[in-house]
A and B are shown apart, each in its own frame.
Chain A
Amino acid sequence: MGMLFLGLLLGLVALFILTLVPNRLRKPLIAAVTLLSGCFYAVEFFLPTGAVVANNKQKAELIKKFGEQPSTPVAESEITVKLEPDALKKLQELPPSDARLVLKQLPTDAPKPLTADDVEKLTAQENFLTPRLQTASDVSNVLQAFAIGLGIWSLVSVHLRNIAMKRSGWGNSATLIAAIVLMALAHIGKEYVKEGPFKTLDDLLYNGLMKNLDATMFSIIAFYIVSAAYRAFRIRSLEATILLVAAALVMLGNVPIGQALTNWIPNDKLSVLTNLRLENIGQWILKKASSPATQAIDFGLGVGALATSLRLWLSLERGSYFEEEL
């Protein structure tokens, strides 16, 4: 426990030191933190990786011990360990020198034949930063989890004011706050006490209320989407017509009444005419015609995200948030 207090103390000292940072150093400090945190993932991505045996350090030691192996494919006679067929296949796909290094690593006295997964573990594509990706991801997740208080406090403070000032609908605000408290207590409590009042309360609140509210809220969109469809499908141009026809074909291909329209076409896999059945046309539009367009849009989004990320990462972005005096 002493060590934990030390960690906590170090964090608090760092916070205290930050409060002493002069105004002119604040922006450069924020830019430096942004740059360094981005560097971790960027450097891990750009650093060359290789098929390694457990890790690069181990590989270097093995090369020192056994020397570089000749580059002839691994023969089955060289394999002294029991391997599953898929593991053997995986091993033979590796560059010969790596395969031999893996063989040196495999335990010859293993009780069970080794699987492809075992070989995979020994030949992960990584550099020295790769094993730390999980730690970085955990730290990021934990810090994000601490941020939930911002949203909850923002919500609660608005409704507490409603209650305090007895504004219209303050009863609903009280309901909201009671629901937050009860749901959090029940769901966390159930994690520690599997049976009893917490479980009953969680059943009532989660299974009885929340799951149904969730499903109903999403299903209500069906009513609004119909009116949106009406507006979207009003034919005013060639583009709108194409959109209408594509949507209609996909929908008709998904419902029995639509499928019944082309039911007279033989459903024979070896007949070209089968492709004219509505369900097949709908599937073709979804899988063959729309997927390359979606991928091209995705690719454009990716390039845009990359460019924006670079600007943010290098603190080149301008605007009120970035130019505000600190």
Chain B
Amino acid sequence: MSDGMLKSIVVLLGVLTTLGIYSILYKENKVFRFFEHLYLGLAGGYAIAANWNDVLKPTWWEPMTTDPGKNWWMAALLPAGALFYFIYSKKNGWMARLIFGLFIGFAAGQSFQSFAGDYFPQFKNVATKPLWVEADKIKPDYPVGAYATVLNNWLALAILGAVMVYFFFSFEQKNKTVNKVSKFGRYAMMVAFGAMFGNTIMARMALLIGRIYFLIHAPESMSGH
């Protein structure tokens, strides 16, 4: 098969799948069901292949077979991995929990690292922004810029504090001041959710535009222009 012909078939398949999936917008139908199953199958097959190509082959198989003297212990990972499949055994089903326990332990231990490595620096980043105008930051031609930055920093700190107060459930919030701060936190969260939602809508629209663009230009792609 020539490269041009292969490319044309690839584009044609792309058009068929796109139209097949979009047929659900009209109503539930057999064409959509077919493509849905096809997608699920392809994704499953791809996951198996990616698992081998990207994880097992480079991390396990190659080190083990190229340097068995040093990495002989890796062979024991096969029976260890087989523990997952004891879930199907009536008699020894409990053994599957050993490997799940291992991963629960790993995840728990890593949560210390992620808390310190991901969350805390982010929090520190907002909480340590300058709350006053540094003289050297004031540009003579645009002094408002420095004041606006500081104003934004005050706002960021206020929002951070207020949202955290909103999520503080350790005791009932009866104090009027705490209530008001918590309410402000709720409004700040609504701004954040609105922004996220707006952003998500825009991202999905961009994908839709991409697909429509693909359909419009498919004939050109097939004819090799």
* Alpha-carbon separation in the docked complex, A26 to B164 (Å): 41
Q: Which of A229-273 contact B (CB under 8 A)?
A: 229, 232, 238-240, 242-251, 254-255, 269-270, 272
Q: Are A180 and B155 in contact (CB under 8 A)?
A: no
Is B122 among interface residues, defined by CB-CB distance under 8 A? Answer: yes
Is B152 among interface residues, defined by CB-CB distance under 8 A? Answer: yes
The residues of A that contact B152 with a CB separation of less than 8 Å are 288
Q: Which of A34-66 contact B (CB under 8 A)?
A: 34-42, 44-46
The residues of B that contact A31 with a CB separation of less than 8 Å are 101
Most buried by B among A15, A152, A181: A15
* Alpha-carbon separation in the docked complex, A181 to B163 (Å): 50
With A146-B82, A288-B156 already in contact, the answer to whether A188 and B59 are too (CB < 8 A) is no
The residues of B that contact A205 with a CB separation of less than 8 Å are 42, 45
Could you say which interface size class chain A belongs to?
35 or more
Q: Are A300 and B144 in contact (CB under 8 A)?
A: no
A-B contact number at CB 8 A: 426
Contact with A along B171-198 (1 / 0, CB 8 A): 0000000000000011111111111111
Closest 6 CB pairs of A and B: A183-B45, A179-B41, A41-B109, A146-B81, A246-B194, A37-B105
Q: Which residues of B contact A (CB under 8 A)?
A: 1, 6, 9-14, 17-18, 21-22, 24-25, 33-53, 55-57, 59-60, 64-65, 68-69, 72-85, 87, 91-92, 94-95, 97-99, 101-116, 118-120, 122-123, 125-126, 141-142, 144, 148, 152, 155-157, 159-161, 163-164, 167, 185-202, 204-205, 207-208, 210-211, 214
Extra 12 A-B pairs, beta carbons < 8 Å, given A7-B75, A14-B79, A293-B188: A30-B97, A37-B103, A38-B106, A142-B74, A177-B41, A210-B46, A221-B207, A222-B201, A232-B197, A298-B119, A302-B118, A305-B111
